[in-house]
């Protein structure tokens, strides 16, 4: 067999922020991939991109503020999108695909929101989109699902997919601190954005589970149909109570294929068993648990964000493309989106879960009986019930666990509880994933 020398691949990079800078450093000495142009916001900023081992050097790479010029350059074969957000990323990636450019991106917002139209356009133009870095940073979950595990029929994906919230919950538990204190610390350390809304609200994790669900179950997911609930209402008491009961409280992204063909996909805080592999995922780390008919249960744990982990996945995608383009222009079948149908999403009200409930009630006889009567009328069965003492305002704190029940029924029971004079406040409702 005669080996032919691989050709150098020229790429255009959109964005030179934290992720973009990491990509540049890693590609300076790459034998096959050369950066032709870098799209930046301004040309006056002094730039000194060192290599991957920290050697500083003057950078002679061509920078431009004309990003359209990059995506239409006939000599550029691959566009790496490191802008983040929906716009102008969507328009630039669309134009790049129309100009027959392959795409590598770490943009979860873009893929989860506009993935269907971009994948269709890529198929029409005979190019491919690689997006390993869009979910869980350095954890190779996307290509693992597409390649290594593609013989499996998947039944469940469950994960901790946001490092900011996982750091906050870990610190609350380990240091006995409240939510706001841990959030402020995360911001000081750079683990949380100045505006942390996307993270703490669960939106970031929702993008990621939507992407993984689409790959695993071969159906497209509409991001606005993913039930999303954040950790803003979580208290130290919730976390400590979970530990007492043998659970750990995490922000969980979950997707399950139901027997009726619907997909149960959601993001919310949950009690998980302390024996669950995800319970040991601490700090800013991410973890993804996959269940397949052949492989069984498999868990991948690692750094889910940051310059180096994200760069690792981006460069991995670039290497795949470079290797493929050295012998064929045709996209590899495993990296082309072939499914076009949208999934039927199971409404949250129809899901079945166990629940943890925390109440503030009047401290008088008959309250417990009233709670039991209301729950019984909605087919809610109590598994464990604890009165945790008397508050300074002479109210009682009560926590309870339920057996499995339909979400709609527990919500109806809570609505009735809130109307009862003896129930001063329904302080929190947290799902328990057995």
Instruction: Give the least confident one: 67-81, 340-354, 377-391.
Output: 377-391
CA 418, CA 374: separation in Å to the nearest integer? 11
322 and 357 assigned to the same domain:
no
pLDDT above 80 for 232: yes
Tokens of 259: 């027997």
| Whether residue 123 is found in the same domain as residue 165 | no
Q: Does the pLDDT at position 58 exceed 50?
A: no
What is the domain-level CATH number for residue 325?
Answer: 3.40.50.720
- pLDDT for position 45: 75
Examine residue 173 and state whether it is found in any structural domain, yes or no.
yes
- Alpha-carbon Rg for the chain, nearest whole angstrom, is 25
51-60, 86-95, 328-337: least confidently modelled range = 51-60
Do the Cβ atoms of 409 and 377 come closer than 8 Å?
no
* Domain shared by 188 and 201, yes or no: yes
Q: Does residue 20 contact residue 315 with C-beta atoms inside 8 Å? A: no
Which sign does the torsion angle of CA 35, 41, 43, 45 carry?
A: negative
CA distance 333 to 341: 18
Do 292 and 154 have their domain in common? yes
Domain co-membership, 315 together with 382:
no
Judge whether 4 lies within some domain: no
The answer to whether position 343 is within a domain reads: no
Q: For residue 296, count other CB atoms closer than 10 A to its CB.
A: 9
Runs of H (alpha helix) within 326-426: 367-377, 407-419
Examine the domain organization and report whether 94 and 50 are in the same domain: yes
Summarize the confidence of residues 71-83 as an average pLDDT. Answer: 96
- What is the average pLDDT across 130-143? 94
Name beta bridge partners: 299: 289
3-state DSSP assignment of residue 433? strand
pLDDT for 329: 72
> Which tokens in the block code for residue 252?
């969980």
* 225 & 249 share domain: yes
> Domain of 166: which CATH number?
3.30.360.10
Compare 27 and 42 and report the one with higher pLDDT: 27
- Nearest Cα neighbor of 350 from 417, 430, 414, 263 is 263
33 within a domain of the structure (yes/no): yes
Distance CA 429, CA 405 (A): 13
pLDDT at residue 48 is higher than 70: no
pLDDT of 49: 66
Is the pLDDT at 326 greater than 90? The verdict is: no
Map tokens 């490191």 to a residue.
82
Q: Give the mean model confidence (pLDDT) for residues 297-322.
A: 93
Stronger pLDDT, 60 or 177, i.e. the higher one: 177
Sheet containing 33-39: order of strands? 62-64, 33-39, 9-14, 78-81, 102-105, 129-130
* The most confident of 2-6, 192-196, 328-332, 427-431, by mean pLDDT: 427-431
**Judgement on whether residues 59 and 111 belong to the same structural domain of the protein:** yes
- For position 67, what pLDDT does the model report? 96
Give the DSSP H/E element, type plus range, for residue 307. Answer: helix 307-325
Give the Å distances, CA to CA, from 374 to 155, 351, 380, 421.
35, 21, 9, 13
Compute the average pLDDT of residues 366-387: 93
Q: How many domains does the chain have?
A: 3
Rounded Cα gap, residues 431 and 379, in angstroms: 17
Question: Taking 50 as the threshold, does the pLDDT of residue 349 lie above it?
Answer: yes
Residues 203 and 83 in one domain: no
Percent of the chain residues topping a pLDDT of 90: 80
Q: What percent of the chain has pLDDT over 70?
A: 94
Predicted local confidence at residue 336, as pLDDT: 72
Mean pLDDT over 347-370 rounds to 94
* pLDDT exceeds cutoff 90 at 50: no
Q: Residue 54 above 70 pLDDT? A: no
Phi, psi dihedrals of residue 75, rounded to the nearest 5°: -90, -15
Residue 52: the pLDDT is 47
**Which residue range(s) make up the domain with 94?**
9-137+308-335
What average pLDDT is seen over the chain?
Answer: 92
> Which residues have a catalytic role annotated?
208
pLDDT: is 228 or 434 the higher one? Answer: 228
Say if residue 321's pLDDT is above 70: yes
- 401's tokens: 């666990």
Residue with tokens 């945790």: 388
Looking at residue 120, what is its pLDDT? 94
Question: Based on the number of CB atoms within 10 Å of its own CB, is 46 exposed (0-12), middle (13-18) or buried (19 or more)?
Answer: exposed
Q: Does position 56 have pLDDT exceeding 90, yes or no?
A: no
User: Does 178 lie in the same domain as 30?
Assistant: no
CATH of the domain at 381: 3.30.70.260
């Amino acid at each position: 067999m005669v080996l032919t020398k691989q050709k150098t691949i020229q790429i255009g990079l959109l964005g030179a922020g934290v992720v973009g800078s990491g990509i540049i450093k890693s590609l300076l000495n790459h034998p096959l991939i050369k950066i032709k142009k870098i799209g930046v916001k301004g040309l006056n900023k002094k730039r000194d991109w060192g290599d991957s081992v920290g050697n500083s050097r003057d950078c002679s790479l061509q920078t431009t503020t004309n990003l359209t010029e990059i995506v239409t350059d006939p000599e550029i074969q691959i566009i790496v999108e490191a802008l983040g957000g929906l716009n102008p990323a969507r328009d630039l990636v669309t134009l790049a695909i129309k100009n027959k450019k392959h795409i590598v991106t770490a943009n979860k917002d873009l893929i989860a929101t506009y993935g269907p139209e971009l994948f269709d356009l890529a198929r029409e133009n005979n190019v491919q989109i690689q997006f390993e870095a869009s979910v869980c940073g350095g954890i190779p979950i996307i290509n693992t699902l597409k390649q290594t595990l593609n013989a499996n029929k998947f039944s469940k994906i469950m994960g901790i997919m946001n490092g900011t919230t996982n750091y906050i919950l870990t610190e609350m538990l380990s240091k006995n601190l409240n939510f706001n204190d841990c959030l402020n610390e995360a911001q000081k350390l750079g683990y949380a954005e100045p505006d942390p809304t996307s993270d703490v609200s669960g939106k970031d994790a929702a993008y990621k589970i939507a992407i993984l669900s689409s790959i695993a179950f071969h159906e497209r997911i509409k991001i606005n149909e993913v039930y999303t609930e954040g950790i803003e209402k979580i208290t130290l008491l919730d976390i400590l109570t979970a530990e007492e009961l043998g659970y750990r409280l995490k922000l969980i992204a979950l997707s399950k294929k139901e027997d009726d063909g619907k997909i149960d996909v959601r993001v919310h805080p949950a009690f998980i068993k302390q024996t669950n592999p995800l319970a040991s995922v601490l700090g800013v780390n991410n973890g993804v648990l996959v269940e397949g008919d052949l492989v069984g249960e498999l868990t991948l744990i690692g750094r889910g964000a940051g310059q180096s982990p994200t760069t690792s996945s981006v460069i991995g995608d670039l290497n795949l493309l470079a290797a493929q383009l050295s012998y064929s222009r045709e996209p590899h079948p495993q990296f082309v989106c072939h499914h076009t149908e949208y999934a039927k999403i199971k409404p949250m009200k129809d899901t079945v879960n166990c629940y943890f409930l925390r109440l503030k009630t009047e401290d008088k006889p008959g309250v417990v009986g009233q709670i039991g009567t209301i729950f019984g009328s909605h087919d809610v069965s109590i598994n464990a019930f604890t009165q945790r003492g008397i508050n300074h305002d002479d109210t009682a704190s009560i926590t309870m666990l339920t057996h499995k029940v339909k979400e709609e029924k527990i919500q109806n029971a809570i609505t009735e509880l809130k109307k009862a004079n003896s129930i001063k406040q329904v302080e929190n409702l947290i799902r328990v994933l057995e």
